[in-house]
Every structure is written in C-alpha cells, then in structure tokens.
Amino acid sequence: MVIMVLSGLSAACSLVLALGTTAIGAILGSTVGAFTLRVLSPTTGRYTPTPVAVDSTPPPAVPDSTLVGAAKFIPKFIPKFIPEGATGAAGTRKCWPLHSQGAEPQICRCARILSVKFGVVQFPGSNCDDDACYAIGTLLGEPVELIWHQSAELSGFDAIILPGGFSYGDYLRTGAIARFSPVMSAVSRFAGSGGLVLGVCNGFQILLEAGLLPGAMLRNQRLRFLCRQVHIRVEHTDTPFTSAARRGQILKIPIAHMEGNYFCDSDTLASLERNHQILFRYVRADGRNAAPNDFEANPNGSLAAIAGICSHERNVAGLMPHPERAAESALGSSDGLVILRSMVAAITGSAERAAISKV
C-alpha cells in the first residue's frame, strides 16, 4: 500500500509513505512499523528516500463522523495519521503528526491510498520509452515497467503509454506495422475495459492505425521533419488526461515528427467538436488561434489545428507533442507533467470513490 500526503504551509512538498512487507502485520493491528519516507522537492521534482520508524503508541480516538474523503476507510491502517476534519483551503485536512501522540494537528492534504502502475510499450524502433519511464518513475514517483511489443497480456497495469519513436522504421506508413503487434490486441482489450491509454507521437499514429482513435496522419504540410517547441491549448478538462489542467491553459511542449498532420473527414470532425474530443490545439504562444497557413503556430498544418484528441469514451487519448520531453525545467518546460499527473489523479480518484462506496 502507498499513501501520499501533500503537505501544506511551510513544507510545500509531497510525501510518499511506502510501507514494506514487514509492516503489513503491524498495519492490520494497532501499530505501524518501519517505512520509507520519500520527500519530493517542488523545485527539482526529485525524491529523496529516508528510512523512518514510527512508534506503536495509538493516537487519540477520532470519531468516524469526522473522517473525510478517502481517509474514511484507512484509519485502522495508519493509527498515527488520522484526519481530524476539514480545515483551511478546500481539500485540506487536519492530520495527526506521525512522530508524537500529543502534538497539534498539522495541515495537510487528503491521503492518497494507492499508487498507479504504468506500462510503457516498447516497439522495435521506439525511442521515447525511457523518457516516459523517467518522467513517470523518477519525477512522479509512480511504478512503471516496459512492456515488450510481443506481450499478449497487460494484467496488473492501471495505465498504458504508447511512446514516440519510429516503430518498425515507419515502413509502409507510420504505425501501420506496429498496430499488428501482439501487444496491440491486449491494448485494445485494456481500452475496451475502461483502462487509460495514452499515445504520444508515434503512439498516437499507432492508435489511429489500430482504430482506437478516429482520423489519420498525413505528412507535414511542407514535407519537412519538424523538431522544436510548440504551444498547445487545453480545450477540455473533463478527461483523465487533462483534469489537472485549466481549460485554456497553454502548454509549451516539443514536437519531433514527419507525419503529424492530423486529418479526418467532415463528419468525424463535427463529431469530435460536438463530443468535446479535441483535447489540444496548436496555438500561438499567447493562446491566439492559428491562422490558415500559420506554420509558426500550427507547424504541420493539422486540420483545425488539432494536436491531440480522445476517444468517445474519453479513456484513450493521443497527441503529437511529447509531454515526457517537457517534464523538467532543464528541458525548457515542465508543462507536460500536467498530462501525466491528470492520469494519476483520475485513477486514484476513481479507486478512492469505489472504496468509499463500500464503507
């Protein structure tokens, strides 16, 4: 079990309490054993593991009626971390500190009770798989594994990433061969059961070829390979891929492709617009719409300046810009993390709501 606590006030960092197998027995009783405390720096985005031991003295009893949100079903598990009720800004809670029984409650955000396991599919020719793993595992601190393209099962994963690259050398047509890899049958089943699937660049092309997203990719309008920063605008936030963003938010994210010119027929475009499936559009840096033949804003000439879309069910999404390459300020932008954080928040939020419904 993993519990994330987002601290407030002076700390302004997130804590991940990863309880090892030696603590499981204690968790089921009235004590907590050793665990690892990982502190996430809001400036560097890196975790520092620190061993911590918690004494077994139980905290003051807290009536169930004062427990809020996800914490409602975890008080028996973490006797030294019991929310006492809502206070301060929306989403915050008073929580008993871990180190002593009689201390004053601290302000912290609601507990997160589980981690999100990502799978990153690795095709022959993928070249952004390690970038995606780094962004997810190192920067977000979520478990992530590479999945070889010949794998036929995706059991145990909460979200799947199809990364960028040049799968099978982009022969025939980008994504046209990769869509026949054994793993894509598993991806289709995973998506059909409601699992989250994100395709980035070549991954987006593969999702289009596999029929998991509508439309097709053409060569860039000026027939040049493009590799530079672009600006995209978040059009809708009611999806698992954009929920942590603001509608109208401008993200600075790089592209690197030859076939990124999105196209679909007029009926499909009308459907995408009507169902709010266009998640990202290429725009100018100040958020203004791209004008016709405005290749500075819409570099590949995509129809309606479309940079990313989602499925009708909203659990499959694809975009040409690379969020995993915009994950740290040293890369020129960390805007891409909002997409991955949205996925984490969507999955943990769903799990917490499901658990609360059983209380």
Q: Where are the domains of the chain?
A: 2-114, 118-345
Contact 101, 17 (CB under 8 A): no
Contact 119, 157 (CB under 8 A): yes
Q: What is the pLDDT of residue 349?
A: 80
Residue 349 CB neighbour total at 10 angstroms: 14
* 5 confidence band (pLDDT: 50, 70, 90): very low
* 232 confidence band (pLDDT: 50, 70, 90): very high
Q: Which residues pair with 73 in a beta bridge?
A: none
Is the pLDDT at 141 greater than 80, yes or no? yes
Q: Pick the range with the lowest mean pLDDT from 63-72, 158-167, 194-203, 298-307.
A: 63-72
Is the pLDDT at 183 greater than 80, yes or no? yes
Q: What is the pLDDT of residue 353?
A: 54
Summary mean pLDDT of the chain:
75
- Sheet containing strand 47-53, strands side by side: 2-6, 14-19, 34-40, 47-53
Instruction: Give the percent of the chain with pLDDT over 70.
Output: 65
Q: What is the pLDDT of residue 196?
A: 97
Backbone angles phi, psi at 71, to 5 degrees: -65, -15
* 110 confidence band (pLDDT: 50, 70, 90): very low
Q: What is the pLDDT of residue 242?
A: 97
Contacts of 90 (CB under 8 A, 6+ apart): none
Is the pLDDT at 130 greater than 70, yes or no? yes
Residue 53 CB neighbour total at 10 angstroms: 9
- Rounded Cα distance between 63 and 159, Å, is 36
Interval 311-341: pLDDT, tens = 999 999 999 999 999 999 999 999 999 999 9
Q: What is the pLDDT of residue 14?
A: 32
Is the pLDDT at 93 greater than 80, yes or no? no
* 350 confidence band (pLDDT: 50, 70, 90): low
* 128 confidence band (pLDDT: 50, 70, 90): very high
Where in the sequence numbering do the catalytic residues fall? 201, 322, 324
Task: Find the mean pLDDT for residues 226-242.
Answer: 96
Q: What is the pLDDT of residue 115?
A: 82
**95-134 burial by CB neighbour count: b if 16+ within 10 A, else e?**
bbebeeeeeebbebbbbbbbbbebbbbbbebbebbebbbe
* 352 confidence band (pLDDT: 50, 70, 90): low
> Looking at domain 118-345, what is its CATH homologous superfamily?
Class I glutamine amidotransferase (GATase) domain (3.40.50.880)
Is the pLDDT at 75 greater than 80, yes or no? no
Q: What is the pLDDT of residue 76?
A: 29
Is the pLDDT at 7 greater than 70, yes or no? no
Is the pLDDT at 222 greater than 70, yes or no? yes
Q: What is the pLDDT of residue 104?
A: 41
| Alpha-carbon 314 to chain mean position | 14
Cα–Cα distances in Å, from 165 out to 124, 203, 297? 9, 8, 23
Greater pLDDT, 52 or 258: 258
Determine which helix (DSSP H) or strand (DSSP E) holds 95, and give its type and residue range: strand 92-95
Q: What is the pLDDT of residue 114?
A: 67
Q: What is the pLDDT of residue 29?
A: 30
Interval 11-66: pLDDT, tens = 323 333 333 333 322 222 323 333 333 434 444 444 444 443 333 344 444 333 33
* 351 confidence band (pLDDT: 50, 70, 90): low
